[in-house]
């Protein structure tokens, strides 16, 4: 269990709070809106109404005691930038900040953010990749060029083994798991037989997937 300071509980922030709560982590929520704070009281450990650009207010929260501080202010980039900078100045261990444009990401990284999340960009990539092929069932963006894809097993792979296809050697694609009847099986070996009614999770570049699956 980790302790998280979550600053900004708009729609994106509420989703993060809800997920952290379900994962069993302790969350302190901070926002300058009483209405937004009231909306998350049932899914956070504690909450404070206040201005996160106020250094004295942030210091009173003991930001250095949290495992991570997440800044999800989406409607006021200046406040997001100031908050990010102050958190790092006050000794925050890890600061994760939200960006809505590429230029914001650069400023946040230069002013204290350890990592930047870019939900609009990530959703756009997910939507574009999903809608360009019926074979792609899901997509998770990782760092660099390599991502995780869930793909429908092609008809001509039906009954063939992993070693027979040898897509790791031919295309640089690693099969991570097979989903059968909704159940994910990660015990994949050279003799694992693939069936067309199932799907596979692979670790690969977009170009490798496009070439191998003829997308």
137 Cβ partners below 8 Å, 6+ apart?
Answer: 150, 151, 152, 199
- Domains in the chain (CATH in brackets) are 3-117 (3.40.50.720), 122-212 (3.30.70.1450)
In this model, does residue 121 exceed pLDDT 70?
no
Query: Can you state the angle between helices 102-110 and 77-89, rounded to 10 degrees?
Result: 20
| Measured distance CA(135)–CA(129) in Å, rounded | 10
Residue 148 burial (CB count, 10 A): 16
> So what's the pLDDT on residue 4?
95
> So what's the pLDDT on residue 34?
95
6 to 15, 49, 52, 53, 135: CA distances (angstroms): 11, 12, 11, 14, 37
Q: Give me the mean pLDDT over the 53-65 stretch.
A: 96
In this model, does residue 122 exceed pLDDT 90?
no
């Amino acid at each position: 269990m980790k302790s998280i300071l979550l600053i900004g509980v708009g729609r994106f922030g509420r989703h993060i709070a809800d997920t952290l709560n379900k994962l069993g982590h302790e969350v302190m929520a901070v926002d300058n809106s009483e209405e937004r704070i009231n909306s998350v009281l049932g899914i956070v450990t504690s909450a404070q109404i206040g201005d996160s650009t106020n250094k004295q207010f942030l210091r009173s929260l003991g930001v250095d005691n949290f495992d991570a501080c997440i800044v999800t202010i989406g409607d006021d980039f200046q406040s997001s930038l100031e908050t990010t900078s102050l958190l790092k100045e006050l000794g925050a261990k890890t600061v994760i900040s939200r960006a809505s444009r590429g230029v914001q990401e650069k400023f946040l990284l230069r002013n204290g953010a350890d990592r930047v999340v870019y939900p609009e960009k990530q959703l756009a990539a997910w939507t574009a990749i999903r809608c360009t092929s019926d074979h792609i069932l899901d997509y998770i963006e990782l760092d660099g060029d390599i991502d995780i894809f869930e793909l429908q097993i092609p008809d001509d792979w039906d009954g063939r083994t992993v070693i027979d296809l040898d897509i790791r050697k031919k295309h640089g694609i690693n099969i991570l798991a097979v989903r059968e009847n909704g159940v994910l099986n990660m015990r994949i070996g050279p003799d694992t037989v693939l069936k067309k009614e199932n799907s596979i999770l692979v670790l690969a570049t977009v170009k490798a997937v496009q070439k191998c699956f003829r997308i």
